[in-house]
Amino acid sequence: MHADIIVKNAKCLTMNNGNKADWIAVHNGTILALGQSTAYGDLVAENTVIIDAGGNTVLPGFIDSHFHVVQTALNAKRIDLRGVHSFEEIGMLIQKSVLENPGKNIIGMRLQVEQLREKKFPDRLELDRYCNDVAVWINCLDYQVSMLNTYGLLYYKVPFNMQGIEKDSQSVATGVFRGKANAVLRTNILDGITDKVRKEAVSDIVPGLLKTGITTVNAMEGGYMYSDRDADFIYEYGSEFPVDMELFYQSLDVEKIKRMHLKRIGGSFYVDGTMGARTAALSFEYADRPGTMGGLRYTQSELNEFVLECYKNHLQLSLYTIGDRAIGAALKAHEAALYQTGITGLRHRLEHVELANAEHIHQAKEMGIIFSMNPTYETYWGGPDKMYRKRLGDHYIKTNMFREIIDQGVCLTGGSDSDVTEYNPMIGVSAAVNHPVKQHQISVYEALEMYTCKSAYAIFAEKEKGTLEVGKIADIVVLDQDILSVPHDLLDQVKVIVTIKSGDILYNTLG
């Protein structure tokens, strides 16, 4: 049998018990063989494509374990406010959009209040200065706060008596939406988007995914603060895209999930909120707002009931937990369900898990709970001079304890939470290796496991992908360097030069 593709002169990290190879051969979409030296000669035919890796690293295709596909795609077409530092800069971008798209509503995403000189969100009067004749909607980076101009307040028709609508001293809406009001506003807007628009937007981001070596994403779609139409879109059309999309339907409706014949439920199923918005549930007060400890969206009884229902229906459950109090509540619910049913092996997950303590880690190990985490958070917000320190005080040294989690034997996977952070896996690998708190740092190999074999295990796909082994799907990436020799401070500069998905070369800079 001859190979369709051979990648030679390579340093193949198979991600299978440390095994390595010098070449890998692909036939009919799967891995045909791996070997040492140049022992692939008999596999070469006239039409075999030979890729010379140049002595650089070859890996399994990357798996992003937490990715908001539709949101990432739609937001790529909206005003990017990630780098703005003042109301004036926001206004300039709004005015530019008005000129480029006259008469169309304006949407700006990824605003970070901590970066603004004013240290607060712009209200409707500020936004009116730059645009007052079409609706302007701005959403912050973690989706937790929205802002509307006066036209937008009237256009989007969210009831002014809803919890979370900020009001001034005259009881007039300021245009700043939080909590339930923000969630309803976001869902109303997203529900109005057609599947045609979704399909065009998702198609447009696929080349970027392949460019970074991503061949599989865990699509976190639907539910609170999102739109079920996003989840239904991935369910209906996800298989049409060249990147595999594993749907995590963020719903409380277990019967609906069963009717759809899905084997998992949840994703960004919010048990608590975010540290940025001070809604993550902590066991201590926020350092920059004494008296505030965040909150849980469900009582322990409600959470116990839902988790038990998932166990009884043999659904893999994924819960969003950031603060230590939320993590504790989720684990307590799992303990109760496990005790009542005795059902194991469902590979339940906690997403984000930013403040897991030693006891949480031990409990997760005992119950087989997977931690799906986002290393890039530490690049954005970790260390002594960024948001974690401002919100948590000295507790910032307890965030994202990768070293301790791995050492205790908990399965740890890596995701981007795109588009909250960039989806390039090498940025995530770098963030885990260079954690600003030294005691939480992990090795390059361990970080790569987070985005390959561990992430495959977390979606019950370890027999098909996640490692380079004969018979597995030929999801393969070639890097531009030997990653194990790259200085740690330069890991985020490593590039993918070839991406092979199911035996097809879909990205190639080698010509």
Class of 251-465 per CATH? alpha beta
Tell me what pLDDT residue 133 has. 95
pLDDT above 90: percentage of residues in the chain: 98
Which pLDDT tens digit goes with each residue over 402-427?
999 999 999 999 999 999 999 999 99
pTM above 0.85, yes or no: yes
DSSP string, 430-468: HHHHT-SSGGG---HHHHHHHTTHHHHHTTT-TTTSSS-
Query: What are the domain boundaries of the chain?
Result: 1-61+467-511, 79-178, 251-465
Q: Is the pLDDT of residue 159 over 90?
A: no
For residue 1, what pLDDT band results from cuts at 50, 70 and 90? confident
- 43-68 pLDDT, tens per residue? 999 999 999 999 999 999 999 999 99
Cα–Cα distance for residue pair 97/106, rounded to 1 Å: 7
What CATH class has 1-61+467-511?
A: mainly beta
Are 181 and 174 contacting, i.e. CB atoms less than 8 angstroms apart?
no
At residue 215, the pLDDT reads: 98
| Consecutive H or E run containing 305 | helix 300-312
Cα–Cα distance for residue pair 235/246, rounded to 1 Å? 9
Judge whether 1-61+467-511 and 79-178 match in fold: no
Do residues 419 and 110 make contact, with C-beta atoms less than 8 angstroms apart? yes
Integer Cα distance of 20 and 445 in angstroms: 12
pLDDT value of position 441: 98
Q: What angle do CA 370, 221, 463 make, to 5 degrees?
A: 45
Whether domain 79-178 has CATH 3.10.310.70: the reply is yes
pLDDT in tens, 303-353: 999 999 999 999 999 999 999 999 999 999 999 999 999 999 999 999 999
pLDDT at 161: 87
pLDDT tens digits, 233-254: 999 999 999 999 999 999 999 9
How many Å apart are CA 498 and CA 477, to the nearest integer?
6
Residue whose tokens read 């406010």: 81
| pLDDT (0 to 100) of residue 99 | 95
